[in-house]
Amino acid sequence: MSTMKAVTKPRPLPGKEWKKGFELSERPIPEIKKPTDVKFKVTAAAICGTDVGIHNSKDSLRDSMQGIDYDSVIVGHEFCGKIVEAGKEARHVLAEKLVNTFGNGGETYLPEKLQSTSVSALSSMPDFIDLIQEHLYATAEMHVTCGTCVQCRRNDKHVCKNTIIKGIHEDGSFTSYLTVPAENVVLFGNNEIPPDIIAFMDAIGNATHTVEAADVKGKRVAVLGCGVQGLMAIAVANYAGAEKIYATDVSHGMFTAEKLEQSRFRLAREYGADYTFNVAVDNEKERFYSTVLDETEGAGVDAVLEMSGNYKAYEDAFRIVRMGGMMALLGIPGGKMVVDFSKDIIFKGVTVHGVIGRRVFETWDMMRKILRSGLAQKFVDTGFITHDIELQDVEKGINALADGEGLKILLRP
């Protein structure tokens, strides 16, 4: 078999309509073209909000994707898979990653043959890649950075000005095989973290980075938005030692207050939220404000994690953040909002922190620790993965997210 099915999006052309939807295409199975690349066989991919934006031809993504070099791109950037091939230099990088990742008490996840502390001994094994394929799952940081810009040199790769995002600017994971630079690979023992959770660690990383930015230990935290990112942020903030968590979301259309309570709010409380508020209801919005102020001596929360990407949530954030508090913003709103910088930020001494991607690889290290501790199994046991469908049914997954019925949706190639 020399071809594979892939979910693709045509490149937007200047002055022409960029039609909504995806295409199901036949693509050649990729080959390793650089000695630093590895080739994955995808076990499962997961749908992200950005994929929904690409599907819906969102203007901000149109702008980002106009410069790609191809007529169409394979979408998707969340996945878990098995490494099936590696370039000569990539073998050495993978060996280094094995030693650095599992060399300090993590050997129990590996067979004895892979527990060598010598990078050269590992990389020179004739069956090295076969052993990795057999005993490890893997995923990748899909933000491919340049390594030379000011940000990269300062170890701020997550804000590299030349970032190429697999699944947006280059072929991604909604298919059977993909290639990725070896330095972006993250390895996991077969029994370390469930592969279905590894499939969306990219997304967990966004929530984890947001929690990291707010330094929530011992603090009162408001999480605005209980979609995928908000729920994961609640779980991570609870693990990180937040003193109290106030969570908000909204019912709308067919996604009724009852559905909101039975799905997202139920999970929010299981993951550590002390309170949940449906702020689409007037008295609930006021209850949110009064509860926060009553419990903080009128001061407000120490940190706001904005996960919804809705400007009405920004208004709530400014209302309930305390003087000297901080706002970490992950949600991506459309359009513009008028902000009274003097009143809401400067005179209140509020820190506003924009969050993009994951710190490489500090956020991944924190995720590994959290998920190993039991959070991965909690995600499995509580039904956070709501749909597990075949690749060609991707439209069903998009629709489930759009109508509020879906949270994490896995695609099987």
Domain segments of the chain: what residues?
Answer: 3-199+383-412, 207-354
Give the Cα separation of 54 and 166 in Å (integer).
13
Element holding 235 (H helix, E strand): helix 228-239
Give the Cα separation of 406 and 399 in Å (integer).
8
Give the Cα separation of 218 and 220 in Å (integer).
7
pLDDT higher than threshold 80 for residue 113: yes
Per-residue model confidence (pLDDT) at position 352: 97
pLDDT higher than threshold 80 for residue 148: yes
Map residue 113 onto helix, strand or coil. Answer: helix
- 193 compared with 62, residue with greater pLDDT: 193
pLDDT higher than threshold 90 for residue 109: no
pLDDT higher than threshold 80 for residue 105: no
Percentage of residues in the chain with pLDDT exceeding 70?
A: 99
| Averaged pLDDT for residues 150-158 | 94
- 101 compared with 75, residue with greater pLDDT: 75
Query: Mind listing the pLDDT tens digit for each residue in 365-382?
Result: 999 999 999 999 999 999
| Averaged pLDDT for residues 103-127 | 84
pLDDT higher than threshold 90 for residue 59: no
Per-residue model confidence (pLDDT) at position 404: 82
| Averaged pLDDT for residues 145-163 | 94
State both tokens at 309.
Answer: 């990407």
DSSP 8-state code for residue 109: G
| Averaged pLDDT for residues 53-72 | 90
Using alpha carbons only, give the angle 256, 261, 262 rounded to the nearest 5 degrees.
100
Closest CA to 231 of 45, 54, 379: 379
Question: Is 264 in contact with 249 (CB distance < 8 Å)?
Answer: yes
φ, ψ for residue 265 (rounded to 5)? -70, -35
**Which burial class, exposed, middle or buried, applies to 126 when counting CB atoms under 10 A from its CB (0-12, 13-18, 19+)?**
exposed
Lowest average pLDDT, out of 146-150, 307-311, 332-336, goes to 332-336
| Averaged pLDDT for residues 12-41 | 95
Per-residue model confidence (pLDDT) at position 94: 97
| Averaged pLDDT for residues 43-68 | 92
- Domain 3-199+383-412: give its CATH architecture: Alpha-Beta Complex (3.90)
Closest CA to 300 of 283, 277, 316: 316
pTM of the predicted model, to two decimals?
A: 0.94
- Domain 207-354: give its CATH architecture: 3-Layer(aba) Sandwich (3.40)
Query: Mind listing the pLDDT tens digit for each residue in 196-215?
Result: 999 999 999 999 999 999 99
Per-residue model confidence (pLDDT) at position 63: 87
SS percent in the chain: helix, strand, coil, step 5:
40, 25, 35
pLDDT higher than threshold 70 for residue 36: yes
CA dihedral 88→90→94→97, nearest 10 degrees, is: 130
Per-residue model confidence (pLDDT) at position 108: 80
Q: What is the mean pLDDT of the chain?
A: 94
Per-residue model confidence (pLDDT) at position 333: 85
Query: Mind listing the pLDDT tens digit for each residue in 245-286?
Result: 999 999 988 789 999 999 999 999 999 999 999 999 989 999
Per-residue model confidence (pLDDT) at position 313: 95
